[in-house]
Amino acid sequence: MKTSVFSKRGRASVRFCTPVLAVLAAFSASSVLAQGQTEVLLNEVVVTASRNEQLLGSALPHTTVISRQDIERSQASDLVTLLQREAGLQRTQNGGMGTVSSVFMRGAPSLQTLVLIDGVPQNKQDSSGAVSLEHLMLDNVERVEIVRGNVSAIYGSGAIGGVIQIFTKTGIGEPSANVSLEVGPRASRKVSSSVSASLGATSISAGLSRVTTDGFSAINTEQLSGANPDADGYRNTSSHVSLVHRLSSEHKFGLRFMQSEGDSHFDNAYGAPADLQTSTIRLSQTTLFTDNSWGSWRSRLSLSEQSDKSTSHDNGLYDSNDGFTSGATVLNWVNTLAMGGDWLASAGLEQQRQHVDTRSDSAYGAPYSRARDTTAVFAGLEGKLGRGNAQLNVRHDKVGDLSQSTGFLGYGYPVTDQLKLTASTSSAFNAPPLGYLFAPGYGNPLLKPERARSHELGVQYETGRQLLRATYFDTRIQDQLNYDFITSAFANIGRTRNSGVELSYRGSVGASDVRASLTVQDPVNEITNQRLLRRAATLLSMGISYPLGPWRLGADLQYSSDRPDAYSDPVTFGTVNTTLAAYSVLDLSLAYKVSPTVLLKARLDNATDESYQTVYGYNQQPRSLYLGVTWTPKL
C-alpha cells in the first residue's frame, strides 16, 4: 500500500522538528525587534529564479543563495558536501571525495537536475547523463544559487527537480589576494591561491587550487568481498580566469575560463581483491560574452564551449581502457526590457551543438560517436499584478528530432508587509542523453523525453534579519527513463511522483547566524507504489555560526531517515533489495583571526564518528580533523 507523505515516521519528524524551526524563527524575530534593528540581512540579489536580478525574498520559486561568506564559514572543499546542507537536497556518494556522486533535488535524480556554470548548461551526453559534481571544488566559486521545482520554461531540458547555478569569481571590487593551506588525515592536503584586481577599465580574477588525499577504501569489503581493500586516493587541480573590460558604464565584454581535473582510485565489486581501477575526469568551460544596455533594454550575448572528458582503467578481470568526451558549444542571447508599471519583459534564443565520443578496448563495450543540434526560443514577463507580483515564462525547445514546449506561472500575494503567500504551476521536460539513444547494444533511438508537471503552494515570512519559508510541492513525471532489464536497453517505462513539504529558515539569533531546513516527502514509483531507491522520506539540516571576539564557532547537523536500496550480487548477478539505515552527521568548525590578514581554521567532520552509507556497500568518511591557515595580504 502506498504510504502518504505524512506517514507515522513523517508525522513524528514534523512534530519534533517544526517546533524547533518555529522557536528559532520566533526567538530571532523577537531579538531583532527588541534591538530595534531594521537592517536587511537577506538582501542578496538572485538571478536564477527568473533570469533577472531580484531580491531573494521576491523570488517565487523556493530559492537559496550560498554566498562566498557562507562557503568560507562552512570550510567545505567540494560542491557536493556544500549542497547536502540545503532544503530538499540529498547526497549519495560511492565512497570519499572524488567518487561518483548524485544530488537528489526533491527526489529527482542528477539526470533531472540542471547544473549551470556562469549561466552555461552542463551537458553530459554519455550513458549516465549526470554531471560530474564530485569534481567541482569551491576555491574558485563566488556563490551558488539553488532554485527548486520545474523551471524548464526558463532553462530548458533537465530542469525537472530544479537548477543549481555556480558562479565563478570575478574581478569586480577592491584588489585582493589570498593563499590557503589545509592538512588533514590520510595525507590530505589542500593548497589554493587567488588574486583579483582592476587595471583601469579591465578587471581580472584568477585562482588555482590543488587537493590531494590518500583516502580510504571506497567499498566495504565485509559487504562486497570482491573489491580491493586498499585506500582509494584522489587528486584534484582546479583553476579559473575571468577578464572583463568595460567600454562604458553600459557596455562591457569579457572572457571566463574554468577547469577542474580529478584523478581517482575506485573499487569494482565484481573484480578480485588485487584489481586496480583508476579514472581521470577533466571538466572545462570557456565563455566569451558581452553585456550591453541601451536605456531600458539590456542584452547579453555569450558563446561557450564546455566539455567533460573521462578516461578509466581496470587491470583486473574486466581489463579495459575506456573513455569518453562529452560537451557542447552553446550560443545564448538574452534580452530584458524594463516596461512601465514595474513590469519586466524578457526574451531570448539558445543554440547548442551537443556531442559525445567514446572509446573502449574492452570486450564489454563498443565505441560510438554522436552529435545533435538543439534550438530554443523563450520569453518571460514579471511584475506587479494587483497587490502581488506575477511571473510568466514560456519556452519551446527542439532537441534533435524531439520537440517540447513548457511553461511556468506563479503569483505572490502579500498578506502583510512581512507575510506573503505564493502559488505556481509549471511543466518541464528532460531529453534523453545521446548515450541513452545511441550507445551500441543498449541505446534506444525511439526514446521520448521525460515530461513533468508540478504545483506548489508556499508561505513566506520575512522581517529584518529573518527569512522563513514553507513550501508544499507535488510533482509528477511521465515517460521516466529507465534501463529495461527485459530488453537490455533504455526505455520509457517509469512514472513517478513526489509530494512533500519543505521548511527553510535563515536569519540571526542574537549574534549567531542560523540556518535550518526540514523536508518531508514521498518520492514513489507510481507503477509499483514503492519508494524510489536511495530517497529519504525525511531530511533535516541545521547550522549555526557564532562569533566570539576573534573566534568563530560553527556546527552543522544533517539527518536522513532510512532509504531503500538495491544491489547486484557479485556472484549470482541477481538483484538484492536492502535498506540503508538512518543517520545523523555532526560537523564542527572553528576559526581564529590572528590578525587582519591571517586566519587559522579547524574542522572536525563527522564528529561523532557515525558509521553510515548513502549507497549500499560504500563507506563514508569517518571522524576527520582538518587544520588550515589563510593569508589575505593587504594590496
pLDDT score for 8 = 38
The β-bridge partners of 65 are: 145
pLDDT score for 123 = 84
pLDDT score for 488 = 86
Q: How far is CA 494 from CA 30, 532, 627, in A?
A: 49, 11, 47
Entry field: residues in the chain: 635
| Mean pLDDT, residues 451-460 taken together | 97
Asked whether the predicted pLDDT for residue 607 surpasses 90, the reply is: yes
Of 236, 136, 131, 252, nearest to 191 (Cα)? 236
pLDDT digits (tens, 9 = 90+) for 511-557: 999 999 999 999 999 999 999 999 999 999 999 999 999 999 999 99
| Mean pLDDT, residues 326-342 taken together | 94
Q: Is 522 helix (H, G, I), strand (E, B) or coil?
A: coil
Give the separation between CA 493 and CA 427, rounded to whole angstroms. 20
Question: Residue 481: how many CB atoms within 10 A of its CB?
Answer: 24
Give the separation between CA 254 and CA 202, rounded to whole angstroms. 9
User: Tell me, what DSSP letter sits at residue 444?
Assistant: -
Nine-digit cell at 596?
Answer: 587582519
Asked whether the predicted pLDDT for residue 7 surpasses 90, the reply is: no
Q: Give the pairing of strands 162-168 and 113-117.
A: parallel
- Residues near 34 by Cβ (< 8 Å), separated by ≥ 6? none
Give the separation between CA 51 and CA 381, rounded to whole angstroms. 11
Q: How far is CA 204 from CA 138, 255, 285, in A?
A: 19, 10, 17
Of 399, 394, 312, 416, nearest to 358 (Cα)? 312
pLDDT score for 6 = 39
Question: Residue 415: how many CB atoms within 10 A of its CB?
Answer: 13
Give the separation between CA 118 and CA 211, rounded to whole angstroms. 23
The per-residue b/e assignment along 327-336, b for 16 or more CB within 10 angstroms, e otherwise, is: bbebebebbb
Of 523, 531, 527, nearest to 492 (Cα)? 527
pLDDT score for 561 = 98
Asked whether the predicted pLDDT for residue 281 surpasses 50, the reply is: yes
Q: Is 154 helix (H, G, I), strand (E, B) or coil?
A: helix
Of 88, 228, 131, 6, nearest to 518 (Cα)? 88
pLDDT tier at 583 (50, 70, 90 boundaries)? very high
Cα R_g (the chain), whole angstroms: 24
The answer to whether 125 touches 355, Cβ cutoff 8 Å, is yes
Of 623, 615, 618, 624, nearest to 232 (Cα)? 618
Asked whether the predicted pLDDT for residue 109 surpasses 60, the reply is: yes
Percentage of residues in the chain having pLDDT higher than 70: 93
pLDDT digits (tens, 9 = 90+) for 202-233: 999 999 999 999 999 999 999 998 889 999 99
What predicted TM-score, i.e. pTM, was given to this entire model?
0.92
With 0-12 CB in 10 A as exposed, 13-18 as middle and 19+ as buried, what is 174? Answer: exposed
- Residues near 94 by Cβ (< 8 Å), separated by ≥ 6? 100, 101, 218, 266, 615, 618
- Residues near 295 by Cβ (< 8 Å), separated by ≥ 6? none
Handedness of CA 223, 481, 491, 130 (dihedral sign): negative
Give the separation between CA 551 and CA 602, rounded to whole angstroms. 11
Give me the numbers of helices (H) and strands (E) for the chain, helices first please.
5, 35
With 0-12 CB in 10 A as exposed, 13-18 as middle and 19+ as buried, what is 634? Answer: exposed
pLDDT score for 29 = 38
Q: Which helix (H) or strand (E) holds 247?
A: strand 232-248
The β-bridge partners of 305 are: 286, 329
pLDDT digits (tens, 9 = 90+) for 372-427: 999 999 999 999 999 999 999 999 999 999 999 999 999 999 999 999 999 999 99
pLDDT score for 364 = 67
| Mean pLDDT, residues 64-73 taken together | 95
Give the separation between CA 29 and CA 480, rounded to whole angstroms. 44
pLDDT score for 620 = 95
pLDDT tier at 4 (50, 70, 90 boundaries)? very low
Handedness of CA 62, 66, 70, 75 (dihedral sign): positive
Structural domains in the chain, sorted by start: 8-252+263-631 (2.40.170.20)
pLDDT digits (tens, 9 = 90+) for 614-634: 999 999 999 999 999 999 998
pLDDT score for 363 = 65
